[in-house]
Amino acid sequence: MKCETESPLVSAIITTYNRQAHLKNAIQSVLKQSYESLELIVVDDSSPQSPESIVKETTSGSSVPVEFIEHKENKGASAARNTGIEAATGDFVAFLDDDEVWVEDKIKKQVNRLLATGPEVGAIYSGIKVMEPDGSLITVRSAETKGDMTKQFLCGKTPAFPSIVVRRDILKTAGTFNESFPSWNDREWLIRVAQECEFEAIDEPLVVSYREDGRDRISHNFDKKRDISYPGLVEKSLPIAEEYGWLFKKKVYGYITFELAYSALGNHIYDEARKYFALSLIRWPFNAKAFIFLIASISGKSGYRLGKLVKRKVASVWEVVQSKG
């Protein structure tokens, strides 16, 4: 066994923009990790008010090396992550947004599992809890699938991004984040990573994400998602999907369209939601969720509220089952 001083260095990258109230908790969750061989890189994407003082105050006295980088102009999440990757010196790279926190043993469990796998495994992810600011549960995402996950990612079944740890040498072959994508940039990147290595999974919620203004962020980005990210993801995904056959290509096209429709529904743009749910069913008529949400979009706001309530009830039952398991 390796002694602690020989443990691989993990570069924790936190990207932030104008969310000072949450940033402190994210930083503290990195500093409190039971895994000691860490470095922390905080990248601010040109916030109106610099969080530098928060970073310095929160990390004061910590033994974890800290680097704070500020963009002079707002460049987007992909550019901020790429800046962090460029500054990283670790053997492994882990990502965290400013409204999320890691469970204390997250990195230790993931690095230990990665070290126990073969060279074909280049990344690992875990489950995640998504919470309201008041502590009520929105959903729990499990982490069960492992191995070659290219097909799963093409269909939109991607891990929660802050749960991922990736070997740094994989980034040299898979590449960094596509800065032309205003959204779905993590999904496009994960598809490339999956073509380079297999994934391992730890089915525990090692990340907690607090969603205070998720709808507002969806609202601000929907037009760009429809006009830039959607056609961009289709262009990148379909040639890869075609390698698995024409039927799977149709399935991928249908699922990408479904997710665009779901974004419209969550933002209460019902005419767009109806249009793209119908289009997703034309492309892949075997997605039962598309039928359900098409009806919800026809029902308008009341249908959306009912769907959201059902989703939360299911998440609450799942939490009880997990606690008893």
Q: What is the pLDDT of residue 110?
A: 98
CB 269 within 8 A of CB 218: no
Gap between the Cα atoms of 93 and 269, Å rounded: 37
Gap between the Cα atoms of 119 and 209, Å rounded: 31
Q: What is the pLDDT of residue 316?
A: 52
> Measuring CA to CA, which residue among 101, 96, 106 is closest to residue 34?
106
CB count in 10 Å sphere of residue 303: 19
* Helical residues (DSSP H) of 211-266, grouped into ranges: 214-224, 230-242, 246-266
Gap between the Cα atoms of 144 and 322, Å rounded: 14
One digit per residue, the tens of pLDDT, for the chain of length 325 reads 344 447 999 999 999 999 888 899 999 999 999 999 999 999 999 999 999 999 999 999 999 999 999 999 999 999 999 999 999 999 999 999 999 999 999 999 999 999 999 999 999 999 999 988 888 888 889 999 999 999 999 999 999 999 999 999 999 999 999 999 999 999 999 999 999 999 999 999 999 998 765 443 434 579 999 999 999 999 999 999 999 999 999 999 999 999 999 999 988 899 999 999 999 999 999 999 899 889 888 876 655 555 555 545 544 544 444 444 4
Pairing mode, strands 165-167 and 66-70: unpaired
Structure tokens at 110: 């993931």
Q: What is the pLDDT of residue 313?
A: 53
Q: List the CATH code of the domain at 217-319.
A: 1.25.40
Gap between the Cα atoms of 205 and 102, Å rounded: 9
**Please, where in the chain does CATH 1.25.40 lie?**
217-319
Give the CATH superfamily of 4-210. Spore Coat Polysaccharide Biosynthesis Protein SpsA; Chain A (3.90.550.10)
**Please, where in the chain does CATH 3.90.550.10 lie?**
4-210
CB 40 within 8 A of CB 30: yes
Per DSSP, which regions of the chain are E strands? 10-16, 38-44, 66-70, 92-97, 100-102, 121-131, 137-141, 165-167, 198-210
